Amino acid sequence: MIRTIWTQESELVLDLIFEPIDETTPYRFEKDESSLATRAGTEVGEYDMAVLGGQVAGDRVIGGDFTGYAGDAGLRGELIYSHVRESDQRDYWRGVVSLYYGFAAAWNPYAAIEYFYNGLGTDDPKDYVERLSESSVQRAFVRGNAFNLGRHYIGRIVQVTPSAWWSLQATTLINLIDGSIQEFATATRSLLENVDLQFGINAGIGPAGTEFGEFSAEQVGVEFRSQDLVFVCLKIYF
């Protein structure tokens, strides 16, 4: 990544990112699989504003983002349009707006709520598998640019710190199309100044035919449910 900063009355930050890759052959460059994008940002009043554009894995993208305040709460938003390289598949918008706040109270509670519009997805659960079979959607999933198949989501984060040794966090993602829920919760215990022990669970909640519950026989031929995950992680900082 290349970053350039101009400073006069205000600051202009320009980021340029180039990712030359070939997904099938190491140390080679394939234009349709590589990415080249730029982002230009500056301050407008109390807000940080930016626009971006370029090519990501062969898809042309354009968009922007902002970060600022709504009263005492933090406010941010992002919007991006992807023009896919397949002429027979549809382009899509994706956008998110979130509100977050840290409370001056015992345990230092922090809360955030977020709405996510995922134009890559569909508003009919019966079309999840068909949508995922399209090459433009598969490409976004493989590259880590997409993770969800629904159209509308609400996310929320709650975090508290009962003591200097413990931190608790719960992240909830709700699919507003089919009502299913993905819950990710962690409890982190500081053992030493540079050693943390984390306990976590990642679980899907919902009936058959939903994204976070299980795919139904009508969708994929058999009932298929992603396994819930329980884990313990030891973190050592150097």
Domain limits, the chain: 84-236
pTM of the model: 0.87
Q: Which of 38, 37, 42 is nearest to 6 (CA)?
A: 42
pLDDT computed for residue 225 by the predictor: 66
Cα angle 107, 112, 113; round to 5: 145
pLDDT computed for residue 91 by the predictor: 97
pLDDT computed for residue 238 by the predictor: 86
Contact 229, 196 (CB under 8 A): no
Residue ranges of the chain with per-residue pLDDT less than 50:
none
DSSP the chain: -EEEEEESSSEEEEEEEEE---SSSTT---GGG-EEEEEEEEEETTEEEEEEEEEETTEEEEEEEEEEEETTEEEEEEEEEEE-S-TTS--EEEEEEEEEEE-SSTT--EEEEEEEEETTS-S-GGGHHHHHTSHHHHHHHHTTS----SSEEEEEEEEE-SSSSEEEEEEEEEETTT--EEEEEEEEEEEETTEEEEEEEEEEE--BTSSSSBB-HHHHSS-B-PPPEEEEEEEE--
pLDDT computed for residue 207 by the predictor: 87
pLDDT computed for residue 216 by the predictor: 64
pLDDT computed for residue 46 by the predictor: 87
